[in-house]
Chain A
Amino acid sequence: MLEALQYEFMQNALIAGLLAAVTCGIIGSYVIVKRMVFISGSVSHASFGGIGLGYFLGITPIVGALFFTIASALGMGLVTRRAKIPEDTAIGILWAMGMAMGIIFIGLTPGYPPDLMSYLFGDILIVPPSDIIMMLILAIIIILVVVLLYKEFLALSFDEEFATVVGLPVERLYFLLLILIAFTVVVLIRVVGIILVIALLTIPAATARRFTHDLKKMMLLSILFGGFFTSTGLWLSFELDLASGATIILVSGVTFLASLFLSRLRLMTGVGRG
Chain B
Amino acid sequence: MTSKEVVRLEDVSAHYDGVPVLEGVNLSIYQDDFLGIIGPNGGGKTTLLKVILGLVEPGRGRVSVFGDTPEKGRKHIGYVSQYSLFDRDFPASVWDVVMMGRLGKTGPFRNYTKQDREATLRALEAMEILDHRDQQIGKLSGGQQQRAFIARALVTEPELLLLDEPTASVDTPLQTDFYELLGKLKERMAIVLVSHDISTISIYVDKIACLNRELYYHSSKELAAEDLEAAYRCPVEMIAHGVPHRVLKEH
Contacts and interface: CB of A to CB of B under 8 A. Distances in A.
Interface of A: 33, 35, 148-149, 151-152, 154-155, 157-159, 161-168, 209, 212-215, 218
Interface of B: 53, 55, 74-75, 77, 79, 81, 85-87, 89-93, 96-97, 99-101, 103-104, 106, 108-109, 111-112, 136, 152, 156
List 6 A-B pairs, minimum CB-CB distance, nearest first: A167-B104, A166-B104, A213-B136, A155-B100, A215-B91, A166-B103
Overall SS of chain B's interface: mixed
A178 B107 CA distance: 21
Contact of A151 (B74, B89, B90, B103): B103
Nearest to B137: A158
Contacts of B156: 166
Given A151-B103, A167-B75, A167-B104, A161 B92 contact: no
19 contacts: A148-B108, A151-B106, A151-B112, A152-B103, A158-B90, A158-B97, A159-B81, A159-B85, A164-B55, A165-B55, A166-B104, A166-B156, A167-B74, A167-B75, A168-B104, A209-B91, A212-B91, A215-B91, A218-B91
B27 to A, nearest CB: 19
Contacts of B75: 166-167
Nearest to A168: B103
**Interface majority SS on A: helix, strand, loop or mixed?**
helix
A165 B92 contact: no
B89 A163 contact: no
B91 A149 contact: no
A212 B134 CA distance: 12
A209 B88 CA distance: 13
Contacts, number: 73
Nearest to A150: B111
Contacts of B77: 165
Contact of A154 (B81, B100, B104, B136): B100
B88 to A, nearest CB: 11
Which among A149, A166, A214 has the greatest number of chain B C-beta atoms within 10 A? A166
Nearest to B155: A166
Contact of B152 (A149, A154, A162, A215): A162
A216 B163 CA distance: 31
Contacts of A162: 79, 81, 100, 152
A159 B55 contact: no
Contacts of A154: 92, 96, 100
B237 to A, nearest CB: 31
Contacts of A163: 100, 103
Given A151-B103, A154-B100, A162-B81, A33 B91 contact: yes
Nearest to B70: A165
A35 B111 CA distance: 26
| Residue with the highest number of chain B CB atoms closer than 10 Å, among A152, A154, A162, A163 | A162
A151 B104 CA distance: 11
A213 B96 CA distance: 11
Contacts of B91: 33, 209, 212-215, 218
A209 B146 CA distance: 25
